[in-house]
Amino acid sequence: MANKDLPARAWVIAGMKVLADSGINAVKVERLALVLGVSKAPFYWRFKDRNALLDAMIEYWKADLTTALIEKVRHLPTPRQRVEAIVELSLDHESDGISVAAVEAAIRAWAGQDPAIGKVAAEVDALRVDYLVRELSAMGAAQQHALIFAKSIYLGLIGLYSVRHYTPALDCEEAYRDLVGSALDRADRLR
């Protein structure tokens, strides 16, 4: 592939990998060019500047690691099946060769440094929790219970992502699945 043929998505994925491995301050055009084995020039054929790349990276996170997962489970017939399936998709360790857990941790670290990213991260968190609330409500849980169960499921996932990166001895998908199953069972009983 010629340098000029390198798609924008390749730069975004390279940026996400660097973000996951080294944090937002390491996401530099020079470094990404080195990772991709090209000169810096093709970057500017795809992006106006580094900020445009960072915007594209956030859009990738929202689209590929949130909206796309919801779309993948939409066809399942019951809310419980959809929640169980989205949990399994969320437990995937990689997407496009990027550590999902490391990206989630890096996005949150970035959000702590940049209020604009903090706002976007809060919006994505709300979107994810709202999705779970809708599914748990469809199972029959009252709104206040559905919200508590949804937050439990989501916070458990964020915690699992965090320990994967920093304390792998605590990484236990089975414990997380148990938590999700308990929340779903409670939602079922509240019908």
Query: What pLDDT band is residue 35 in, cutting at 50, 70 and 90?
Result: very high
| Res 124: pLDDT | 97
Chain position carrying tokens 């997962």? 69
**Collapsed DSSP state (helix, strand, coil) of residue 40:** coil
**20: in domain:** no
Q: Locate 73 and state its tokens.
A: 């489970």
Residue 145 CB: number of other CB atoms within 10 A? 18
Helix (H) or strand (E) holding 144: helix 143-166
Is the pLDDT at 147 greater than 50? The verdict is: yes
**Is residue 141 domain-resident?**
yes
| Residue 111 falls inside a structural domain | yes
> Above 70 in pLDDT, residue 2?
no
Give a yes or no: residue 159 inside a domain: yes
Q: Report CA 161 to chain centroid distance, whole Å.
A: 10
Q: How far apart are CA 149 and CA 133, in angstroms?
A: 8
In-domain check, residue 4: no
Residue 75 lies in a domain: yes
Q: How many helices (H) and strands (E) does the chain have?
A: 10, 2
CB of 138 closer than 8 Å to CB of 184: no
Averaged pLDDT, 132-158: 96
Closest CA to 27 of 110, 108, 112: 110
User: Residue written as tokens 């066809």?
Assistant: 75
**Per the structure, how many domains does the chain have?**
1
Q: What is the domain extent for residue 127? A: 58-189
The CATH number of residue 151's host domain is 1.10.357.10
Amino acid code (one letter) for 143: Q
Mean pLDDT of the chain: 94
Is residue 39 assigned to a domain? no
Question: If you compute the radius of gyration of the chain from its CA atoms, what whole number of angstroms results?
Answer: 18
Contact 18, 26 (CB under 8 A): yes
Average pLDDT estimate for 85-106: 92
Its pTM stands at 0.91
